């Protein structure tokens, strides 16, 4: 007996002896364990590479090695991706959304490890990105491939992708609630209680494994805080608006810069430009090196000297205006450093950069308020800024609130975090309807959203609703021949196709010939070419279903022909078939 037979027997045994709901819980538990282990390996790998690279760095004065190491990391990562991976592993969260929307929730097996390697090298050498998007892609790939291995259906595969993402966030941050709400806000469709339980299992399991491996300390040790005060609400509202506007700058700036780099088709030109910009920016502003969590920790503990060391602004900690200028410049140039890292060939995400920019934004706002005579708690504002930027950039206010609370153990700041996150989200939503993650997919109509109607339409595929059993007519057929075909047909519309090249020329409907079809003396006088009409429009076989439905609504048609890019006839789609398929998918999708 070979391995294939053993595998098939194991699958059959599982299907007979373990109910699907119970097995999903088992898979969510395993996904949580593996996601936490992957997060642990990634963090250890990043710290190991970073320690190796920075071992000889000058810690106090200007460090000219910053002009070299980030670019070296990008070229190593780029070569790894081009010659070993041979696939695009950037923009991890966007790739997950695409897999859910367009690839039946299937992520390639190599995504289980390639993002770990790529981001370890990129960030370890100083790339100005975060490790969270790569670990989320890794966790989701673990869930997807576990589901695929055990031959689970698309609905379950989608849920396991969510379990992997929840486990990854929970594992890397020790934040089980944040892992759950990140999945609900950023990745998933309408959720039921049946779906939430596996997500909770993955989140709690991953957090528990991380506690076992790394201890129970919070990611950021934060002790200096002030309790919430009602009189600060106006200033928190102002901070929320500022965070929303900075999020807008972050989102549109990143999008513009990534489109700018796409103009360069040669990867080595991208590397030369991106690597040079990144290295120069890190040399001028050392806090841009790596994830930036050291800078966040320093600001939360009011250790300004650690933020300005190794820079031209050394000594500005006692000069408020100079310090504020330095920090504002870091906010401005962070997107240039992040976009240069990812577009030039590095692997990483915007999760950490949004926290980094948010912390500095909150710190700057508090410092300005204090300079004009108001007594604002800087640390509280820095934490709230982190929640505000995450809420704005990712369009995920709950994730921002719970993540910051869990990262620091500062649950007493809930009111502060809620106010700033909510206002930041409401501010950016006025200008950008989609997050940076979802923007490109939304523009192509390839995004599954939290709107169930759109979600179910996205799950429908054109090939599943095309009808190919219609009788095809040729343009030179006589009316008499057509009448014989009509007598055996159950349809009232007929495609007219050029027999030489298969191009759709038009359609013939019963309405067009009803007044002459019972007059035999006309059977040889009229041809199909004379009687056919043009359809209201054509559907392309590659159109997303949401656009197809919009065309049906705009034209008022009930049946429309489908063609390929060369106008070759494929078949017909009827609105009734779409409605039937929609109901079937909706019942399956929402089934408890």
* Cβ neighbours, 10 Å, residue 134: 32
Q: How far apart are CA 570 and CA 585, in angstroms?
A: 24
Take residue 273 and report the two structure tokens written for it. Answer: 């430009």
Can you state the angle between helices 233-262 and 320-343, rounded to 10 degrees? 40
Domain ranges in the chain with CATH number 3.10.580.10? 456-590
d(CA 500, CA 471): 17
At 319, list the tokens.
């000069």
What pLDDT is recorded for position 400? 92
Please give the structure tokens belonging to residue 375.
């007594």
Thinking of the domain 3-214, which architecture would CATH place it in?
A: Orthogonal Bundle (1.10)
| Burial category of 193 from C-beta neighbours within 10 Å (exposed 0-12, middle 13-18, buried 19 and up) | exposed
Q: How far apart are CA 167 and CA 202, in angstroms?
A: 5
Residue range 132-181, pLDDT digits in tens: 889 999 999 999 999 888 888 777 888 899 899 999 999 999 999 999 99
Q: Which is nearest to 156 in space by CA: 454, 591, 449?
A: 591
Instruction: Quick: pLDDT tens for 183-237.
Output: 888 876 555 667 789 999 999 999 999 999 998 887 777 666 678 889 999 999 9
Q: What string of H, E and C letters represents the secondary structure of 259-290?
A: HHHHCCCCHHHHHHHHHHHHHHHHHHCHHHCC
Question: What pLDDT does residue 444 have?
Answer: 53
The region, left, alpha or beta by phi > 0 then psi within -120 to 50, assigned to residue 290 is left
Q: Which residue has the higher pLDDT, 34 or 576?
A: 34
Residue 99: what pLDDT?
67
Domain 456-590 has CATH 3.10.580.10: yes
Tokens 């006088």 belong to which residue? 525
- Which residues pair with residue 508 across a beta bridge? 494
Domain with CATH 1.10.3080.10 in the chain: 3-214, 230-449
Does the pLDDT of residue 558 top 90, yes or no?
no
User: Out of 3.20.20.20, 3.60.15.10, 1.10.3080.10, 1.10.340.30, which CATH number does the structure's domain 230-449 have?
Assistant: 1.10.3080.10
pLDDT band at residue 430 under the 50/70/90 scheme: very high
pTM attached to this predicted model: 0.77
Distance of CA 370 to the CA centre of its chain: 38
């Amino acid at each position: 007996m070979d391995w294939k037979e053993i595998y098939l027997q194991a699958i059959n045994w599982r299907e007979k002896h373990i109910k699907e709901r119970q097995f999903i819980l088992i898979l969510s538990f395993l996904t949580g364990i593996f996601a936490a282990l992957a997060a642990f390996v990634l963090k250890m790998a990043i710290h190991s590479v970073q320690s190796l690279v920075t071992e000889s760095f000058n810690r106090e004065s200007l460090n000219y090695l910053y002009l070299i190491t980030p670019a070296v990391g990008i070229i190593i990562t780029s070569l790894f991706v081009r010659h070993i991976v041979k696939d695009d592993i950037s923009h991890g969260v966007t790739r997950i959304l695409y897999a859910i929307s367009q690839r039946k929730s299937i992520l390639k097996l190599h995504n289980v490890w390639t993002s770990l390697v790529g981001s370890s090298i990129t960030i370890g050498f100083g790339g100005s990105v975060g490790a969270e998007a790569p670990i989320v892609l890794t966790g989701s790939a673990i869930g997807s491939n576990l589901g695929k291995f055990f031959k689970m259906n698309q609905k379950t595969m989608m849920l396991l992708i969510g379990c992997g993402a929840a486990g990854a966030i929970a594992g890397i941050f020790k934040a089980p609630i944040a892992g759950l709400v990140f999945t609900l806000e950023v990745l998933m469709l309408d959720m039921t209680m049946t779906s939430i339980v596996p997500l909770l299992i993955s989140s709690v399991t991953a957090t528990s494994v991380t506690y076992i491996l790394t201890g129970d300390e919070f990611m950021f040790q934060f002790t200096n805080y002030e309790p919430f005060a009602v009189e600060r609400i106006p200033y928190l509202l102002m901070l929320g608006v500022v965070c929303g506007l900075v999020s807008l700058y972050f989102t549109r700036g990143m999008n513009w810069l990534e489109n700018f780099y796409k103009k360069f088709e040669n990867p080595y030109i991208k590397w030369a430009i991106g690597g040079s910009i990144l290295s120069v920016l890190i040399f001028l502003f050392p806090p841009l090196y790596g994830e930036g969590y050291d800078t966040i920790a320093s600001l939360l503990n009011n250790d300004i000297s650690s933020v300005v060391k190794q820079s031209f602004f050394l000594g500005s900690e006692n000069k408020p205006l100079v310090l504020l200028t330095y920090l504002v410049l870091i906010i401005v140039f962070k997107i240039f450093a992040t976009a240069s890292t990812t577009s030039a060939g590095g692997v990483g995400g915007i999760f950490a950069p949004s926290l980094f920019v948010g912390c500095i934004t909150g710190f700057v706002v508090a410092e300005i308020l204090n300079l004009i005579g108001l007594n604002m708690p800087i640390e509280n504002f820095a934490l709230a800024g982190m929640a505000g930027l995450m809420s704005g950039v990712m369009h995920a206010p709950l994730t921002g609130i719970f993540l910051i609370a869990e990262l620091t153990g500062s649950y007493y700041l809930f009111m502060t975090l809620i106010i700033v996150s909510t206002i930041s989200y409401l501010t950016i939503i006025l200008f950008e309807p989609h997050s940076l993650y979802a923007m490109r997919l939304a523009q192509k109509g390839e995004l599954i959203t939290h709107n169930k109607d759109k979600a179910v339409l996205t799950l429908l595929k054109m090939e599943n609703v095309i009808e190919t059993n219609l009788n095809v007519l040729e343009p030179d057929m006589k009316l008499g021949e057509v009448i014989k075909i009509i007598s055996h047909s159950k349809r009232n519309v007929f495609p007219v196709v050029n027999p030489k090249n298969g191009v759709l020329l038009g359609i013939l409907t019963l309405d067009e010939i009803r007044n002459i079809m019972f007059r035999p003396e006309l059977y040889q006088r009229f041809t199909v070419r004379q009687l056919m009409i043009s359809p209201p429009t054509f559907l392309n076989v590659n159109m997303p279903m949401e656009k197809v439905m919009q065309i049906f609504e705009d034209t008022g048609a009930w049946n429309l022909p489908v063609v390929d890019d060369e106008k070759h006839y494929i078949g017909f789609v009827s609105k009734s078939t779409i409605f039937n398929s929609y109901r079937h998918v909706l019942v399956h999708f929402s089934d408890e």
